[in-house]
Structure 1
Amino acid sequence: MREEFPIFQAHPELIYLDSAATAQKPRCVIDALTKFYSEEYATVHRAIYRHAVHAGQAYHDAREAAARFLNADWDEIVFTRGTTDGINLVAKSYGRTHLQEGDEILISEMEHHSNLVPWQILAKKTGAILRYIPMNEQGVLEWEGTIRPRTKIVAVVHISNVTGTINPIQEIAEEAHRYGAVIVVDGAQAAPHIPIDVRRLDVDFYAFSGHKCYGPTGVGVLFGKKELLEEMPPIDGGGDMIDQVTYGATTYQKPPLRFEAGTPIIASVIALKPALEFVQRNRSFGVLLKHCTERLNAISHLKILGKAREKGPVITFHIEGVHPLDLATLLDVKNIAIRSGHLCAQPLLAKFGLTHAARASFGVYNTISEVDLFADEIDRIVKKLR
């Protein structure tokens, strides 16, 4: 598998354990970008010459690929700049037109800032009340009984970027709909690792990023149920999202183009298609996660955050007496790349009494031997610094 990733040919010594932040790129994605820029470059939705028509078809093919990836219809797929952009689109367009003062937005205590800050902004703007689903010491949401008649939006992460907890999205969605609320799901960590079926989950909105799915940066996908997208106003104006424009008024395209103002991120969208197809062929992390968890649990003074039974390939940990930034620096000397810091989840880390933590996360290119080298090096560092 590693041979499909040019970075490991350039740096064979690299042990990359930061895929939860961004995944490395396989040759098929790099080739798609290179071919488009060097042989097929043209704009989309604006011209009838051959290169433009071909680019437009490739752009639409990517939308259909994203729809297949989620088991959705192509006109329920909005291209965004990433998960953050998708969630903000929902908050600004759906949220501002459907919330009134006193309505409730329910999110969880384990959210990434991208699924927290937009709802804080929305609550302040509309007078809605922001409430939180509590998380227990095991890193599991205690969500039963938290959805109430005044709840209008439930926003929850599918897989936590800190604890790795896989949340029961289908059950939460069913309860949200029982109270007439919509559910918005942050799928950034789930999309690269587990099959996503938005029909089975019955979610109203689902957002994820291309770059975490081995695709290009700058592109993301927002799924929205067709009937919801059709009633939502655009939040950005410009070319491509219009139907008719006069000096007096403007009418808009139907979704999804209504939400894609301006020249789109054409190359990244086109290269997203082989990335998603790559993900669908390569999903496996259970062995690595189990082995790494066992190795780290055997290291003295090291505590793993979150002990849910169902977890994605993310292990966040803290070592008593060793600052995460120091740990990451020492590991980097040995060509081992991990994440350290607040992990874009300051309130969640605060629940564990921390301001910083270290995180290892896995991709399809990682191996058992890499996990062993990683664990051996941490053990050596702990013995040296303590």
Structure 2
Amino acid sequence: MSNKRDYYEILGATRDAGKDELKSKYRKLAIKYHPDKNPGNKEAEEKFKEASEAYGVLSDDKKRSIYDQYGHQGLEGTSFSGSANFDDIFANFGSVFEDFFGFSGGSRGRGGSRVQRGSDLRYDMTLEFMEAAFGVEKEIDVNKYDICDMCHGTGCKEGTHPETCSQCQGTGQFIQSQGFFKVKTTCPYCRGKGKSIPNPCSKCVGSGRMQISKKVSVKVPAGVDSGARLRLTGEGEPSSSGGPSGDLYVFITVKPHKFFQRDGVDVICVVDISFIQAALGDEITIPTLDSEKTLKIPKGTQYGDTFRFKGEGIPSLRSGKKGDQVIQVSIKTPTRLSKKQEKLLREFDQLDSDKISNKLKNLFKNI
């Protein structure tokens, strides 16, 4: 399970941010935390590296697609470089001022409200160990806001229409002069929509939305682990301004198994054998993820020895190739012996020329 911060959060960008926006966000952080500007500041250096890694993934279409679908887990084991092209990042340096101050050459806003996508949603899903190993399809109930079925999203009473905001004249913005710069702020009266609703819908009270519960089918791929994130495009909340719907992100937690443990794509299990089996060897049946296999225990097996079933592990999310099943041996010593068993063991002890006690005596003689 990865403890890394979300790459979009690091850059301060939304999940639908374009490449130009990502570049702008990264440029600001790079300027702020660059080691040359912060000599000896370890915290700034780590933030600079963190931002560079985030931009290195999100600026690459293929890596970004994998990250959006599976999160950090989908990128594990890849050889991507988190570094960025600094010649590209710091080019057009003057555009930073436009990003910081919202400067524009004209005195008017860019007519009309901005079209925005709907909000993303989060759903936490808990899986059984085997469901995560083999994949599963689950139907979930998602509570969200949807377009009002009475006003069809307009927010207006039937027979009426939104009116142009009288405060911002429909631009959705106020522009204030601060010396040489002009700063744009969202209109507080229409909240940037550029429209007002004098006669609101009785069902949604002018919001244009209502709360619903929707059934959504989620296909969980084989090999997911705790911390994985699945993206369902368009299953978030609808836009209130005509843009695309947001996405639904399903965060995975996998329950522990009573026999198997996971280590990446390998599965580990601990098997108990008797000291007789360890000494003389044996063949035992071992459960695998989907069947059983015979394991040959060689003579003289020691506590903690491991054996491996190739290809009996978890499939990789990226390649589909399965890991291995690793069997760790635990030798159980009997706590109750019959008189006959104890007698036989004592006879064996007398015949044992490789006794540990003799070795210890010889060891101390040489000290």
TM-score of the superposition, structure 2-length normalised?
Answer: 0.20
Choose between structure 1 and 2: higher strand proportion. Answer: 2
Choose between structure 1 and 2: higher helix proportion. Answer: 1
Greater C-alpha radius of gyration: 2
TM-score of the superposition, structure 1-length normalised?
Answer: 0.19
